[in-house]
Amino acid sequence: MGTVTQWKQLLLSALESNSHLKHSPYFQFATIGCNGRPSNRSVVFRGFEENSDRIQINTDFRTRKIEELKHCPFAEICWYFSDSWEQFRISGRVDVIDGSSPDPEKLQQREKSWFASSLKSRLQYLGPNPGLPCLSEQSLNEFFLDPSSGPVATFCLLVLDPDQVDYLNLKSNQRTVSTLSRCANGEMCWNSEMINP
């Protein structure tokens, strides 16, 4: 993708204009639970995959969202920027990249995301299983991690490949839905339509 899509440009502008807010890189990430019910949580934006619209998220392989994504690979994120009053709902298919991936490029991408994280963030992957009862008062300070060592087995990279973006600007009262579809020439392209807020 050579040119930056309209929705991605809007998102990059929103990130820039709200960058002074500590919560601006956080968004909600919703999956379909194995019981068929919605499952939602807050995650941190880890950037776009190089030269693409694909959104990166770091997570622990032991979390419930991994099981849910293996059951149903579709998810939606909801991102609200409180200063600019902009909301982005981005849905698509999620690629789960763990250490067992047979694709060397994906493993390299996972490693790059690992080293882009702070040491404190990396230490979280050494802790006890997320979501299980807490059996001890273990602190992350008790764990040691060589800063130069690669990703631990529990580290996982999620890559959301968007196919629809619902953008709402509450200041201008404008809403646009962008959908990825096959164009006349056979290539995939984004089509945007203004709709009622």
**Rounded CA Rg of the chain:** 18
pLDDT tens figures, 49-83? 999 999 999 999 999 999 999 999 999 999 999 99
Helix (H, G, I), strand (E, B) or coil at 82: coil
pLDDT tens figures, 79-101? 999 999 999 999 999 999 999 99
pLDDT of the residue at 184: 87
Q: What is the mean pLDDT of residues 154-181?
A: 97
Burial label for 193, CB within 10 Å (0-12, 13-18, 19+), is exposed
Q: How confident is the model at residue 133 (pLDDT cuts 50, 70, 90)?
A: confident
pLDDT tens figures, 14-30? 999 999 999 999 999 99
Q: Which residue has the higher pLDDT, 46 or 129?
A: 46
Q: How confident is the model at residue 155 (pLDDT cuts 50, 70, 90)?
A: very high
Helix (H, G, I), strand (E, B) or coil at 63: coil
Q: How confident is the model at residue 2 (pLDDT cuts 50, 70, 90)?
A: low
Mean pLDDT of the chain: 93
Q: How confident is the model at residue 151 (pLDDT cuts 50, 70, 90)?
A: very high
Q: Residue 142 pLDDT more than 70?
A: no
Q: Residue 143 pLDDT more than 80?
A: no
DSSP sequence for 93-158:
EEEEE-TT-S-HHHHHHHHHHHHHS-HHHHHGGGSSPTTS---S---GGG----TTS---TTEEEE
pLDDT of the residue at 175: 98
Q: How confident is the model at residue 1 (pLDDT cuts 50, 70, 90)?
A: very low
Q: Residue 159 pLDDT more than 50?
A: yes
What structural domains and CATH numbers belong to the chain?
6-128+141-195 (2.30.110.10)
Which has the minimum average pLDDT: 116-130, 135-149, 153-167? 135-149
Q: How confident is the model at residue 141 (pLDDT cuts 50, 70, 90)?
A: low
